[in-house]
């Protein structure tokens, strides 16, 4: 099968969902990937350089089709993207176009305009509640409606997408179990802690990826534990505009905070291993309930317990045995961490076994089944996910108060 793929972020920048799926599906399909670059504020000038240097090329697992972006210019980026897509699709021969919904990154591809060229599968991996004031509601609705099939990363997004597209499927994120297991067997927790200047006797609570609540209730919890004399460290890995505020919260307790900033993907394993517990502390809003818990899978693959605050819809339904939940307050997080410090849970082999169905190879097979179904008969509902029934027990928009299904 010949596939054109628009990912939600630049290729090979970390290991995103698109990277994992493309790498595995490229073994049996001919994949071309729309390639673009993203730069931080300190290197905005590189966008101009990209106009001269960024070109289509053959890559490791696919052919890259170059497009270009400008900072804070989504309308322009959308026009550039659409011109690139139409030119590429007009060359002919593509069996399916896979598109991730990320207009704030790529620009709007306007999928409806592309339906005459090729069947479309939308990878609906990020989204909010259409029944609330979510800024991308209209884009997401148009995106899902225009597709021949929608692949949804969580049950919440599946329920929502099914209002508009009956050919919607649940295909969550995954994890590389063997890779984490190999690293864990070849390295020690103590050595990893020392490598980042942390006393091996200290209890490390980590947030890897810096998805967290701007209210900083989790930081207050760690500060309170430090005030009580607990040997605890909050380890933060990744970029975030919140880092300065977090550092100020730890004034007087700087030894309880370690900010590492962004690290290359190839080095991130030691931060997982150095952790005594992974922390997912966010706000109680639909956006987070609709996410697939990639970092939670990764902590589990490294045999680390995870504290999730609040109890999130998708996390609850994955029912992973190494996950504990608490309320999104400083007191609740503090009490939960203190309980883990006093009685660290034993990590049985059965806990890792619960992750086997989330192996990226299996996830890629489920994704491939959707592609094959669309190729055979675009628009025909073919239910074949290995995850079976996906009805969530909690609903933010169980009915259709906004008339989205009309």
Q: Please state whether 107 falls in left (phi above 0), alpha (psi between -120 and 50) or beta.
A: left
What is the rounded CA–CA span in Å between residue 124 and residue 178? 27
- pLDDT score recorded for residue 396: 33
What lies within 8 Å, CB to CB, of 273 at 6+ separation is 183, 184, 187, 189, 192, 302
What is the rounded CA–CA span in Å between residue 200 and residue 352? 24
Q: What is the pLDDT of residues 198-214, one digit of tens each?
A: 999 999 999 999 999 99
Q: Is the alpha carbon torsion for 308, 393, 158, 26 positive or negative?
A: positive
What is the rounded CA–CA span in Å between residue 126 and residue 112? 20
- pLDDT score recorded for residue 184: 95
Q: What is the pLDDT of residues 46-93, one digit of tens each?
A: 666 666 677 677 777 777 787 777 777 778 888 988 998 998 998 878
What is the rounded CA–CA span in Å between residue 91 and residue 350? 50
Q: Please state whether 237 falls in left (phi above 0), alpha (psi between -120 and 50) or beta.
A: beta
- pLDDT score recorded for residue 64: 79
- pLDDT score recorded for residue 384: 43
- pLDDT score recorded for residue 395: 34
Q: What is the pLDDT of residues 97-141, one digit of tens each?
A: 999 878 878 888 899 999 888 999 999 998 989 988 778 888 899
Q: What is the pLDDT of residues 365-386, one digit of tens each?
A: 999 999 999 988 754 343 445 6
What is the rounded CA–CA span in Å between residue 383 and residue 320? 24
Q: Enumerate domains of the chain plus CATH numbers.
A: 2-174+361-376 (3.40.50.2000), 177-356 (3.40.50.2000)
- 294-301 and 177-186 helices, crossing angle to 10°: 40
Continuous segment of H or E residues that includes residue 222: helix 217-227
Q: Give alpha helix (H) positions in 276-390.
A: 286-289, 294-301, 313-318, 330-342, 349-353, 360-376
Q: What is the pLDDT of residues 166-183, one digit of tens each?
A: 999 999 999 999 999 999
Among residues 283, 112, 263, the alpha carbon closest in space to that of 196 is found at 263
Q: Which whole number is the average pLDDT over 334-348?
A: 91
What confidence category does residue 351 fall into, taking pLDDT thresholds of 50, 70 and 90?
confident
Q: 230 with 256: CB under 8 angstroms? A: no
What is the rounded CA–CA span in Å between residue 116 and residue 162? 23
């Amino acid at each position: 099968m010949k596939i054109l793929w628009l990912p939600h972020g630049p290729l090979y920048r970390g290991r995103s969902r698109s990277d994992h799926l493309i790498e595995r599906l490229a073994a049996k399909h001919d994949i071309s990937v729309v390639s673009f670059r993203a730069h931080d504020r300190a290197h905005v000038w590189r966008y101009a350089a990209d106009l001269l240097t960024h070109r289509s090329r053959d890559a490791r697992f696919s052919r890259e089709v170059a497009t270009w972006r400008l900072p804070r210019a989504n309308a322009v980026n959308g026009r550039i993207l659409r011109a690139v897509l139409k030119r590429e699709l007009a060359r002919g021969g593509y069996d399916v176009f896979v598109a991730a919904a990320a207009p704030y990154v790529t620009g709007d591809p306007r999928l409806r305009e592309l339906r005459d060229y090729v069947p479309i599968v939308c990878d609906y991996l990020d989204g909010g509640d259409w029944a609330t004031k979510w800024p991308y509601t209209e884009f997401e609705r148009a995106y899902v409606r225009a597709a021949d099939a929608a692949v949804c990363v969580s049950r919440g997004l599946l329920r929502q997408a099914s209002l508009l597209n009956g050919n919607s499927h649940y295909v969550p994120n995954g994890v590389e179990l063997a890779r984490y297991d190999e690293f864990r067997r070849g390295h020690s927790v103590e050595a990893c802690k020392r490598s980042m200047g942390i006393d091996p006797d200290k209890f490390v609570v980590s947030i890897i990826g810096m998805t967290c609540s701007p209210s900083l209730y989790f930081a207050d919890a760690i500060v309170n534990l430090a005030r009580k004399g607990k040997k605890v460290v909050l380890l933060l890995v990744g970029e975030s505009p919140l880092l300065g505020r977090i550092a100020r919260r730890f004034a007087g307790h700087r030894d309880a905070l370690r900010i590492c900033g962004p690290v290359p993907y190839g080095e991130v394993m030691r931060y997982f291993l150095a952790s005594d517990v992974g922390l997912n502390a966010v706000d109680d809003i639909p956006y987070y309930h609709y996410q697939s818990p990639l970092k939670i899978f990764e902590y589990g693959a490294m045999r680390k317990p995870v504290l999730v605050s609040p109890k999130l819809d998708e996390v609850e339904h994955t029912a992973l045995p190494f996950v504990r939940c608490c309320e999104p307050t400083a007191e609740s997080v503090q009490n939960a961490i203190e309980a883990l410090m006093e009685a660290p849970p034993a990590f049985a082999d059965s806990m890792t076994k619960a992750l086997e169905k989330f192996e990226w190879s299996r996830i890629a097979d489920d994704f491939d089944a959707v592609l094959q179904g669309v190729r055979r008969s675009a628009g025909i509902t073919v239910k074949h996910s290995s995850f079976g029934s996906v009805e969530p027990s909690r609903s933010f928009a169980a009915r259709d108060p906004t008339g989205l299904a009309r």
